[in-house]
Amino acid sequence: MHEAPATPGTERRAGRLSDRLTLSAKRVLWAWLFLAVPVVFYGAIRFWPTAEAFWISFTDWNLLRPAQFVGLDNYRRLLADPLFWKVFANTFLYLILGTPVSLVLSFAIAYHLDRVRFLHGFLRALYFLPFLTTAVAMAWVWRYFFQPVPIGPINNLLASLGLPAQPFLRSTLQALPTILVPAVWAGMGFQIIIFLAGLRAIPTSYYEAARIDGLSERAILWRITLPLLKPTLVFLVVFASIGFLRIFDYVYNMNTNDPGGPLDSTKPLVIMIYQTAFKSYDVGYASAQTVVLFLILLAISLLQLRLMRQPT
Amino acid sequence: MTALSKARPGRVVAWTLLFLGGIVMVTPILFMFSTSLKDSSQVFDLRLVPAEPTLDNYRTILEDGRFLRWFLNSLFIAVLATVSNVFFDGLVGYTLAKFRFPGRRLVFLAILSTLMIPTEMLVIPWYLMASRFGWLDSYWGIVFPGLMTAFGTFLMRQFFETVPDDFLEAARIDGLNEFTIWWKVAMPLVTPALSALAIFTFLGNWTAFIWPLIVSTRAEMFTLPVGLSSFSVEQSVAWEMIMTGAAIATLPTLLVFLVLQRFIVRGVMLAGLKG
Amino acid sequence: MRMSKRIAGNSFTKKLLAGAAFGIGLTLAGQAGAVEIEYWQYIFDTRVKAMDQLIGKFQAANPDIKVKQTTFPYADYQTKVSAAVAAGNGPDVVQLFYGWLDGFVAAKLIQPLPKDVFPGAAIEADFFPIVSAMKRGEDYYGLPTAVRSLALFYNKKLLADAGLDPNTPPKTLDDLVTMAEKTVKRDGAGNITSEGFALDMAGQDHQWWREVLVRQFGGAPYAEGDRKVTYGDAAGAKALAFYTDLQLKQKVGQLGFMDEAQAAFKAGKATFTIDGTFRLGAFSAIKGFEWGVAELPANAQGVRSNYASYFANAITAKAEGEKKAAAAKFLAYLSSPEAMEVWLKVVGELPARRAVALTDANLANPIHGPFLAGLTNAHTTMFVDEAAQRQITMDMVNRVLLQGQSPADAVAAAATAEQALIDRVTKK
């Protein structure tokens, strides 16, 4: 801060100046006072641990032994670990199956729901309810649904229709899509509401103009609605993608007796991280896995920023 | 009814499909409640309405005592996190929106950048931190990582930017100090955003699983999802008990929703569009 | 913790009130006398109840020691113990599976038993030989209250329904298969609605396969103190084929049916299941459920084998001074004949001391008899990482059942994987 000038003749002017300085300095002070606790928090609980995670990924720490710097050993081990590649593929399967399926369904529902007036609030509530459930609770409910005969409702339904029973969670092929069902189901409520908000935000004058021009409903959907929904779409694609890449609760709870599904067929990266860190205590190796997850998510977020900046 | 009778056949079909789809969406929830009202001999009977509904499962679970404890743990943690987020995210969002000071952009970008750090990357360092400071098995240990969030801060900043400076200047002329201006003048102007933030934070903490699973070792300190998960493993085949536990975990958020439906939907829309 | 502190506090006040004349010396002694130790085990209803009883009796006999019991779900148990002991706030006496011992010792979670209280020669004379799995060098690191073996559980009603004698369980593997085929029930579409034999590799079947079936088909699971995997041969493949054929060929069971074998058996939807002594309590608790226990079936040549295991109690590295003395005293009580009888009655697990287990009454007991008989020809796998080795066996079975791999290939792949795991762990 500036020191007050000592010359008596300028005292009055300087006084006003320092008053003014104090006023803005005061506000700077207030600002930093408001930010003091949060800045410490973000430093200690977000940035420091991030740095620590990177650091640990270069060590062979296993919680019970002191850490030793091993350079890129953990990353080398990761690249050579067939389980990692299996898990990597699974994680992307969750993403490339889950995101489009849930968004197409949500959009179709929101698009029609937006035009419905009769019992609109009630219908919306039906679709939104799953979003408010606890993933752990619903994972067990769905696990029950997918049980074989004689307990599983779905297989009993299939049997009563004369269709062959399905192994679902007990199949290396079906288990992953089976786990996606509740994940998609629970996320749709949120997506539908966001789509509805996006649809509402499109001025009706656009539609009126299009109708006057004689465009068909289909053409309006493709040429007006969807382009104008781009920000909403980008947001939901990124939001859903990140959610599927981080899937954990459903996988963990739907397959507790064989974690990660038969022959690791449902194991996503986050389950591998959890098991490596908290079951095997191989903390260094687990940290390397988290760094990989971080890089994937970073790439997706940067992609979002690029898409958002592009002119519509 | 008039809307329906005036509608074209296409609309009727669309409405019917939407209605059926909606029923499919809530079926798992209905099934969960229905199974929780059956005794073990009726579980295999897949009727949606139990032949002889009974509250015995709820009685057994509540007498066990653990669920009550987990319920209260979850409630306490979710409320604590919500209060903290409303306070700090509101304060930081306001400061970043309404103050001009050196370092403002840096702080904003720093906080925003934490959105890109996945929780899963931080759980290992958090766990080490918690064990070093003796925070394992404590409320503080479960709640500390979520006391403030970049999402909430960003959301609040967006909303505070829409608050006209005149309001705040008027309060300054009245001689209020900056803290009072924020708390008494600015905060009430963004109540919709605050309630959206509160809903999200509460729901997020109520359903949170991976971190509470890692940080709590004793059953007394489990949150509802962690308790439910371990309870369900322990019960193995007693599906009626598992469904009862699941129902207990789900019921509170559903009830709150039924009461505050419009409010919550609006909050989600607000947060989704601005966040 | 808070509870017992309050109790200690109350007695402290009482002493102050009653004996103020004795002065500070006595109250200090009173405080110092109330040693509190913590005991950890995993949640299993009957085990927790039995331990509550034992703690009650122990505290009555040792008023100067308080024992606090803490329990966790089995799935997280090992993790929680390691985490807490590493952080310095865990138990003083801890229950551990014998197969975890190397991990616990390497991580310095537990300390050797004091030789003055637990002389090695006495342990070897009194306990079943499988207790030697707790010995490293000259030191014993823990002692069990009870040991467990496997047996064949059978549902009498399902046998009777199929026209079989509910009191004649199968004696050989061939009998088992025939009787399972007669009792399995299927719906019109061929889906199993009640199993003949409940398969559950994540349960006890992996032990049955490893230590029993492999031997019965002419092989040996391991050599060199279980550090060399030897089941990856024709005998191993035959043993695996026998197991997977139950689902693929005879179709008498299905992995994942009702989630777990014990669940299917408990619900009366499986004729046979292989399980351990620890399940007795859970099955007895069901009213009107008629079941029996038989020794594991022999092969055609009459070769029998069994798998025995146990949870031992050990003193953690953190217990020192008077806590260590109290912990040793408690552990001695948990390994006493009295404790073993309580454990047998409440949990159903067999006493770890020969003299307590092999009484005429126990041998004649229709339930304990078959388990005790199994104990005499039992093997104990010296796991390096029980969970990982179990996973390898589960994956092996899944490859045959779900991916159609041949048993020979699956068993060879499993042997390679398990050998790699053992080498990696033992090299460290």
The pLDDT confidence band at residue A300, using thresholds 50, 70 and 90, is confident
The pLDDT confidence band at residue B176, using thresholds 50, 70 and 90, is confident
Q: Based on the domain organization, do C287 and C317 belong to the same domain? A: no
Residue A311 has pLDDT above 60, yes or no: no
> Which two three-digit tokens encode residue C62?
């040792």
3-state secondary structure of C423: helix
Q: Amino acid identity, residue B223?
A: T
Question: A63 vs C82: CB contact, 8 Å cut-off?
Answer: yes
Closest-CA distance of chain C to residue A190, Å: 32
Which of C329, C351, C373 terminates a domain? The answer is C351
Binding partners of C (≥3 Cβ pairs within 8 A): A, B
Over residues A268-281, the pLDDT tens digits come to 999 999 988 887 77
Q: Based on the domain organization, do C189 and C253 belong to the same domain? A: yes
Q: Give percent above pLDDT 70 in chain A.
A: 91
Residues of chain A found within 8 Å of residue B212, distances taken between Cβ atoms: none
| Per-residue pLDDT, B109 | 92
Residues of chain A found within 8 Å of residue C399, distances taken between Cβ atoms: 263
Closest-CA distance of chain A to residue C282, Å: 19
Over residues B74-111, the pLDDT tens digits come to 999 999 999 999 999 999 999 999 998 889 999 999 99
The pLDDT confidence band at residue A64, using thresholds 50, 70 and 90, is low
- Quick check: C80 and C104 in contact, CB under 8 A? no
Nearest residue in chain B measured CA to CA from C265: B237
DSSP C164: -
| Per-residue pLDDT, B40 | 79
Over residues B119-157, the pLDDT tens digits come to 889 999 999 898 888 888 899 999 999 999 999 999 999
Question: Mean pLDDT, to the nearest integer, of A58-80?
Answer: 86
3-state secondary structure of C186: strand
Question: C192 vs A167: CB contact, 8 Å cut-off?
Answer: no
Over residues A80-121, the pLDDT tens digits come to 999 999 999 999 999 999 999 999 999 999 999 998 888 998
Closest-CA distance of chain A to residue B169, Å: 13
Distance CA C97, CA C311 (A): 4
Element (H, E) at C307: strand C306-307
| Per-residue pLDDT, A258 | 79
* Domain spans in chain A, listed from the N-terminal domain onward: 8-56, 73-309
> Which two three-digit tokens encode residue B224?
């509802």
Tell me the pairing of strands C139-140 and C135-136.
antiparallel
Distance CA B118, CA A247 (A): 12
CATH domain A73-309 topology: MetI-like fold (1.10.3720)
Question: C75 vs A256: CB contact, 8 Å cut-off?
Answer: yes
Where in the sequence is the domain holding C196, given as residue range(s)?
150-308+384-427
Over residues A12-26, the pLDDT tens digits come to 444 555 555 677 788
Q: Based on the domain organization, do C110 and C198 belong to the same domain? A: no
Distance CA B46, CA C41 (A): 38
Sign, CA dihedral C2-C8-C11-C17, equals negative
Question: Mean pLDDT, to the nearest integer, of B16-38?
Answer: 94
Nearest residue in chain C measured CA to CA from B135: C87
* Residues 93-152, chain B, touching C (beta carbon < 8 A): 131, 134, 136
Q: Based on the domain organization, do C316 and C292 belong to the same domain? A: no
Question: C191 vs A149: CB contact, 8 Å cut-off?
Answer: yes
Residues of chain B found within 8 Å of residue A112, distances taken between Cβ atoms: 14, 17-18
Question: B249 vs A137: CB contact, 8 Å cut-off?
Answer: yes
Residue B29 has pLDDT above 90, yes or no: yes
Average pLDDT along chain A: 87
Q: Based on the domain organization, do C343 and C240 belong to the same domain? A: no
Over residues A131-164, the pLDDT tens digits come to 999 999 999 999 999 998 888 889 988 988 888 8
Question: B225 vs A142: CB contact, 8 Å cut-off?
Answer: no
Tell me the pairing of strands C143-144 and C311-316.
antiparallel
Q: Based on the domain organization, do C279 and C411 belong to the same domain? A: yes
Q: Where would I find the H helices in B99-223?
A: 104-113, 119-132, 139-143, 150-160, 165-173, 178-180, 187-189, 191-207, 210-215
Residue C400 lies in a domain: yes
Q: Which of C73, C86, C259 sits opposite B237 (nearest CB)?
A: C259
The pLDDT confidence band at residue B217, using thresholds 50, 70 and 90, is confident
Q: Which of B218, B219, B236 sits opposite C263 (nearest CB)?
A: B236
| Per-residue pLDDT, C228 | 95
Q: Which of B127, B237, B241 to mutate to test the interface with C (most CBs of C within 10 A)?
A: B237
Question: C191 vs A155: CB contact, 8 Å cut-off?
Answer: yes
Closest-CA distance of chain B to residue A8, Å: 31
Residue B247 has pLDDT above 70, yes or no: yes
> Which two three-digit tokens encode residue C186?
């299927």
Sign, CA dihedral B1-B6-B12-B15, equals negative
The pLDDT confidence band at residue B6, using thresholds 50, 70 and 90, is low
Question: Mean pLDDT, to the nearest integer, of A187-206?
Answer: 91
Q: Give percent above pLDDT 90 in chain B.
A: 52
Q: Based on the domain organization, do C71 and C122 belong to the same domain? A: yes
Q: Based on the domain organization, do C301 and C336 belong to the same domain? A: no
| Per-residue pLDDT, C33 | 58
End-to-end CA distance of chain C: 38
Distances (CA, A) of C151 to A28, A122, C276, C278, C380: 77, 57, 6, 11, 15
Hey, is the C-beta of B88 within 8 angstroms of any chain A C-beta? yes
Residue C18 lies in a domain: no
The CATH number covering residue C211 comes to: 3.40.190.10
Residues of chain B found within 8 Å of residue A130, distances taken between Cβ atoms: 25-26, 28-29
Q: Based on the domain organization, do C86 and C233 belong to the same domain? A: no
Residue C68 lies in a domain: yes
Hey, is the C-beta of B235 within 8 angstroms of any chain C C-beta? no
Residue A9 has pLDDT above 50, yes or no: no
Residue C13 lies in a domain: no
Residues of chain C found within 8 Å of residue A165, distances taken between Cβ atoms: 189, 191
Q: Based on the domain organization, do C285 and C406 belong to the same domain? A: yes
Closest-CA distance of chain C to residue A80, Å: 15
Q: What is the mean pLDDT of each run of 10 residues along chain C (428 residues)?
A: 36 37 37 78 87 95 92 74 74 90 84 92 90 90 93 95 94 96 90 93 94 96 93 96 96 90 90 89 80 94 94 92 93 95 89 92 91 90 87 95 96 96 81
Contacts of C117 (CB under 8 A, 6+ apart): C328, C329, C331, C332
Residues of chain C found within 8 Å of residue B136, distances taken between Cβ atoms: 83-84, 87, 89
Hey, is the C-beta of A148 within 8 angstroms of any chain C C-beta? yes
Count of structural domains, chain C? 2
Q: Based on the domain organization, do C160 and C266 belong to the same domain? A: yes
Q: Which of B18, B26, B205, B269 to mutate to test the interface with A (most CBs of A within 10 A)?
A: B18
Q: Which of B131, B136, B236 sits opposite C260 (nearest CB)?
A: B236
Residue A292 has pLDDT above 50, yes or no: yes
3-state secondary structure of C324: helix
Sign, CA dihedral A147-A152-A154-A157, equals positive
